[in-house]
Amino acid sequence: MSSPADPASQASPLTAVVPRDQGGARLDQFWMGHAEDLGVARSRIQSWIKIGLALINGVPCLRPGRRLAPGDRLELRAASQSSELKPENRELRVLYQDDDLVILNKPADLVVHPAAGLDQGTLVHRLLHHFPELAGKDAGGMDTSRPGIVHRLDKDTTGLLAIALNEPARLRLASAFAAREVEKVYLALVHGRPRAQGVVDAPIGRHPTSKTRMAVTEKGGKPAHSAYTVLWTAPEDRFSLVQVRIASGRTHQIRVHMRHVGHPLLGDPTYCPASFTGWQHEVPGMNALLRRPMLHAWKLGLPHPRTHQPLSFVLPPPKDMLRVILAGSRTTQRVGLTGMPGCGKSLFLAELAALGLPTWSADKAVAELYQPGRDGWELLRRNFGDRFIPDPEGPVDKRALLNSLRETPRLRRELEALIHPLARRHLEDFWQTHRKQRVAAAEVPLLLETGWPSDFDLIVGLACDPDRRRNWLLTDRGWDENLLADVESWQWPEAKKIQACHLVVANPGSRDQLAGRARDLTVVLRWLRRQAARRLLSRITALVAPERDASRDQE
């Protein structure tokens, strides 16, 4: 082996051939055996290997633990002075600082330390500017490629990160991590609804076919333990907010483990199959928000490297994570419109439609179902023969049908049992068609009587002066007093009906004024949606507040 006087300044590489008696040795241990001859710290040799300066038989090897075979030709290219890290004056979010330790809030899209092909723009470069002692005489043999680093977060993972400011502190913190004396709890947004809590004990190693991925492996993997608890689940079980406590710290551990149990992280292009993401396309703006895997280092507890006193830090999730929660929780605001006969429901629904709201009418849906050949028409033919459809190919005789309903209450209940489920399915299709809309409205005269309130988020009752309503039905619709009494007897009394509604809109009597009431309602609906978003944000904030730790509550 060549033996230069100053390996950090020379241009020619160090070379060696593995002797027979050192077959099976690790790459880093082989070169560390010559550390005294090289005149550099062993940690520095290991850092050279990790940034691609070690070659085996002419091929770069970044794995310090690579086992060597007798006769392997080795090269070690010491980092030159020109490749020394240059401090960068960029933002650093410091949450805690003393002479030995710094706790940072790491943002997304920031690599922690340099690696092969990445010699600028990392967190370490920022650290060197804000904490020049990391590169000073007091660094005490600290790894020059990653000074102060005792644990890592993935490039796109946000949250708490501990940095040692001197070598004694680094060694003590590294020992605490190795002894699992450090508490690490993350927040993640995962697809679907996992069971309330679970433990994943599954070894993690390199993916068998992809060099850039990790995987749960039966052979060759390192032990990995993750315990998760579901904190909250979005509507329709689209996704869930979970806390994950990890004992080990394997590469991509949480991403791999949650994928292993069938609930990959939102925004994770590496471990989330496309089959999980279909719902995202139904939520406006969701795909644009998911620019990274939704993972955040939430809690960090560790002993102080000098005093050994326990320290605990909690960092709420970043804004992009909260935006995903709010956007992904949006559903169509389903508004039901009801009221007594002649109160102006159809006119009010038309005004809402003129304002751009998708609308649906139960009366129109039933009329469609009674068209020849449609489901309602078929049920009438099957159950009543030609009683209401005298022509086998003709329309329903609605006058005969109405008269029978008035004469025979049992028949009315029987017909409702047949037709109402068809109308409800029609309504469900309407909601599904307009699932991307922020709000949609449906007029259902018997909404309360039929037991459909669960199909709506808000029920609006249209109230009208009883005398004006009665006069309109008798004069404009051609009803008589008996028909009016019969139809109203099929519904709840007006006072009970109005009292059961969430909102009441008074019909002022003119079309222009009714249009104004429709505009007012849309303003109220928008305000209610904003209030719902604020309540959700408050709920999530309470769930992840410092005093909250669901898994410990259940231990």
Across residues 521-538, what is the average pLDDT?
97
CB 216 within 8 A of CB 256: yes
pLDDT-derived band at 215 (thresholds 50, 70, 90) equals very high
pLDDT digits over 183-210, tens only?
999 999 999 999 999 999 999 998 888 8
Neighbours of 61 (CB within 10 A): 18
Distance CA 150, CA 177 (A): 8
pTM, 2 dp: 0.79
The answer to whether residues 396 and 388 touch, using CB atoms and an 8 Å cutoff, is yes
Among the residue ranges 169-178, 464-473, 521-530, 543-552, the one predicted with the least confidence is: 543-552
State the pairing for strand pair 59-60/73-76.
unpaired
Distance CA 177, CA 171 (A): 10
Show the tokens assigned to 527.
Answer: 């305000």
Q: Which helix H or strand E contains 209, and what residues bound it? A: none
Active site includes 28?
Answer: no
Q: Are strands 197-201 and 225-233 parallel, antiparallel or unpaired?
A: antiparallel
The CA distance from 278 to 274, in Å, is 7
Say which of 28, 100, 143, 154 is annotated catalytic: 154
Coil/strand/helix, residue 214? strand
pLDDT tens readout for residues 377-432: 999 999 999 999 999 899 999 999 999 999 999 999 999 999 999 999 999 999 99
Q: Which domains does the chain have, with CATH numbers?
A: 14-83 (3.10.290.10), 94-318 (3.30.2350.10), 333-534 (3.40.50.300)
H/E/C letters for each residue in 482-524?
A: HHHHHHHHCCCCHHHHHHCCCEEEECCCCHHHHHHHHHHHHHH
pLDDT of residue 8: 39
The per-residue pLDDT of the chain, averaged, comes to 90
User: Which phi and psi angles does 287 have, rounded to 5°?
Assistant: -60, -35
Least confident piece of the model among 74-78, 155-159, 188-192? 74-78
Phi/psi at 538 (5° precision) = -65, -40
Asked if 438 and 286 count as a contact pair (C-beta separation under 8 A), the reply is no
